[in-house]
């Protein structure tokens, strides 16, 4: 059986003072029985997060990475730099990166590879817009996004991925996919992984993201192919994030 994983994505939120309060409240609310969990913070807060989470079960993560190793790439951050801050997870291909920074599925695949080469876990995000859903293209869209990654990586690397299904229309909108809708897409992603490699299909965690909150988390995570959550807004409130982590038990 796959164990559950709950990851917070702070996006471009936080301040040193707010982070200190949020992280200390989260750490105080975790116990030995908590599900595996992590927070993906803005890069400038990695050092602070690393220090505040030292010795706690909550892991550190980043929200993006360069596909390049080093060099003249102004503004970019390399995977080898993230490792120095104890990062274990790196989100790649978030829909906000795809939409506002024109990231292609091929670039996202290269970023996932860079994360793996540095010894971290990529959280590969896939998801359709409302227009695409209404046009009946959901499975085609998410499968193209995942396929680019599967094409680039070998089986041993695919086994180390986390995949997050985040319908774009559910992100930050308060609209959540129903558990049945989310499960349907997760099952399709699982089938795609199985077609690629029967060995790894049952072990890769598939997270749901998009307005996951304390009141819907349990039902979503009870679906057979939903192995946890990628949480935006609710990860900025200690009580809500802890409630979701506890719902994953």
| Residues near ligand 13P, by CB under 6 A | 9, 94, 166, 171-172, 209-212, 230-234
SS3 59: strand
Q: Which is nearer to ligand 13P, 46 or 234 (CB)?
A: 234
166 catalytically annotated: yes
Catalytic site residue from 96, 103, 166, 186: 166
| Minimum gap (Å) between residue 69 Cβ and ligand 13P | 26
Residue closest to 229 by CA, chosen among 239, 220, 238: 220
The answer to whether 238 touches 22, Cβ cutoff 8 Å, is yes
Is 94 a residue of the active site? Answer: yes
Catalytic residue among 94, 186, 196, 246: 94
Burial bucket for residue 16 (CB in 10 Å: 0-12, 13-18, 19+): exposed
Measured distance CA(233)–CA(213) in Å, rounded: 9
Distance CA 69, CA 88 (A): 17
Of the pair 123, 148, the CB lying nearest ligand 13P is at: 123
Whole-angstrom Cα distance, residue 139 to residue 165? 11
Where do we find the tokens 């992603």?
189
Q: CB 34 → ligand 13P: shortest distance, Å? A: 19
User: Cβ closer to ligand 13P: 94 or 246?
Assistant: 94
Identify the CA nearest to 183 among candidates 213, 226, 219, 216. Answer: 226
Nearer to ligand 13P, 171 or 243 (CB): 171
Please tell me the distance from the alpha carbon of residue 94 to that of residue 122, in angstroms, as a whole number.
11
Taking CB atoms, the residue at the shortest distance from ligand 13P is 232
Give whichever of 200 and 248 is closer to ligand 13P, judged by the CB atom.
248
Least spacing, CB of residue 33 vs ligand 13P, in Å = 24
> Strand 58-62 relative to strand 36-40: parallel, antiparallel, unpaired?
parallel
Give catalytic residue positions.
Answer: 94, 166
């Amino acid at each position: 059986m796959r164990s559950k994983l709950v990851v917070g994505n702070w996006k471009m939120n936080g301040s040193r003072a707010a982070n200190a309060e949020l992280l200390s409240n989260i750490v105080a609310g975790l116990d030995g029985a908590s599900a595996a969990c992590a927070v993906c913070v803005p890069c400038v807060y990695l050092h602070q997060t690393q220090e505040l989470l030292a010795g706690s079960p909550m892991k550190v993560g980043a929200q993006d990475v360069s596909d390049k190793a080093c060099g003249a790439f102004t503004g970019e951050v390399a995977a080898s730099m993230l490792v120095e801050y104890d990062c274990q997870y790196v989100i790649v291909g978030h829909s906000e990166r795809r939409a506002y920074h024109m990231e292609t599925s091929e670039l996202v695949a290269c970023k996932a590879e860079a994360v793996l080469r540095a010894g971290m876990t990529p959280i590969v995000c896939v998801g359709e817009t409302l227009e695409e859903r209404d046009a009946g293209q959901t499975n085609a869209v998410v499968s193209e996004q995942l396929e680019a990654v599967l094409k680039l990586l070998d089986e041993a690397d695919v086994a180390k991925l986390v995949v997050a299904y985040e319908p774009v229309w559910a992100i930050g909108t308060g609209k959540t996919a129903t558990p049945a809708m989310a499960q349907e897409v997760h099952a399709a992603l699982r089938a795609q992984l199985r077609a690629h490699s029967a060995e790894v299909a049952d072990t890769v965690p598939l997270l749901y993201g998009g307005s996951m909150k304390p009141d819907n988390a349990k039902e979503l995570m009870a679906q057979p192919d939903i192995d946890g959550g990628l949480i935006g807004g609710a990860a900025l409130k200690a009580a809500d994030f802890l409630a979701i982590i506890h719902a994953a038990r």
